[in-house]
Structure 1
Amino acid sequence: MTDNKSEDVIPITVEFSGGLEMLFSNKRKHNLSIPRNDDSGAASNIAFLVSYLCQNVMKDPRKNLFVLDETVRPGILVLINDADWELEGEDKYEIQRGDNILFVSTLHGG
């Protein structure tokens, strides 16, 4: 007997560093189970993940430090399984079971 519930979600690890962790309860690593499909029924991708993180994981009201125009702000490096997201299709990359997605702020005050 298969567990339909487990087939409806994708287990992933999301990490934040470079100061971004302060927006996510000062926690660097989050083990999440996200919906397999977005609201339109399409496979969940990085764009969906960013929205999901803002709605369900981010406790800090300063969403603008993480997103700009509904995508990751310039100055935030995104690595998907240790590869730059630009090599993977950026926010269109379809999330796979076990993916590790790392968001790193490269911007530092001074």
Structure 2
Amino acid sequence: MAETATGSSTLPITVEFTGGLELLFGNERKHNVALPAQLKDGSQPNISYLLGYLVDNLMQDQRKDMFIMEDNVRPGVLVLINDADWELEGEEMYELQKGDNIVFVSTLHGG
């Protein structure tokens, strides 16, 4: 995964966690995140980059496997990009845009 940007411009997005995932992120449901607008390799950050960023910078719980499995979103976690299923947007390859709202919804329930 590429590291930080070449330059100082940022890409502001909103990330939300529901269905219990917020417990992994300091019990905060909504986060305003500023990602680098361009990565070192010249590409734009995508959902795959965002996942690594969230785990490295926002996740406060050690149970990474409740959110990420094999470097992708765990099965049972729905991802919405601006209220649309991420499958319609290219999943983890979707290039993030200024002002995007990314929502992670856990459908996993104990019992």
Tell me, yes or no, whether TM beats 0.5.
yes
Partner of 2:26: 25
Q: Deviation at 1:41?
A: 2.8
Task: Provide the rounded CA distance (Å) in 2 between the counterparts of 1:37 and 1:71.
Answer: 21
Task: Provide the rounded CA distance (Å) in 2 between the counterparts of 1:26 and 1:17.
Answer: 10
Partner of 2:3: none
SS at 2:87 equivalent: helix
Task: Provide the rounded CA distance (Å) in 2 between the counterparts of 1:16 and 1:39.
Answer: 28
Q: In structure 2, what residue type is equivalent to 1:79?
A: L
Aligned residue pairs total 105
Deviations 1:42-81 (A, max 9, x none): 1100000000000011011111110000000000000000
SS at 2:43 equivalent: coil
1:92 aligns with 2:71: no
Q: Deviation at 1:104?
A: 0.2
Task: Provide the rounded CA distance (Å) in 2 between the counterparts of 1:33 and 1:65.
Answer: 24
Task: Provide the rounded CA distance (Å) in 1 between the counterparts of 2:39 and 2:72.
Answer: 16
Q: In structure 2, what residue type is equivalent to 1:57?
A: L
Query: Which consecutive residues of structure 2, in runs of 5 or more, have no partner in the other structure?
Result: 1-6
Is residue 79–residue 103 contact of structure 1 (8 Å, CA) maintained in 2? yes
Query: Which consecutive residues of structure 1, in runs of 5 or more, have no partner in the other structure?
Result: none
TM-score, with normalisation over the residues of structure 1? Answer: 0.91
Q: Deviation at 1:39?
A: 4.3
Task: Provide the rounded CA distance (Å) in 2 between the counterparts of 1:51 and 1:39.
Answer: 15
Aligned structure 1 segments of 4 or more residues deviating by more than 2 angstroms: 37-41
Question: Cα RMSD over matched residues?
Answer: 1.1
Task: Provide the rounded CA distance (Å) in 2 between the counterparts of 1:42 and 1:27.
Answer: 30
Task: Provide the rounded CA distance (Å) in 2 between the counterparts of 1:40 and 1:72.
Answer: 23
Inter-CA distance 58–39: structure 2 relative to 1 (3 Å threshold): farther
SS at 1:58 equivalent: coil
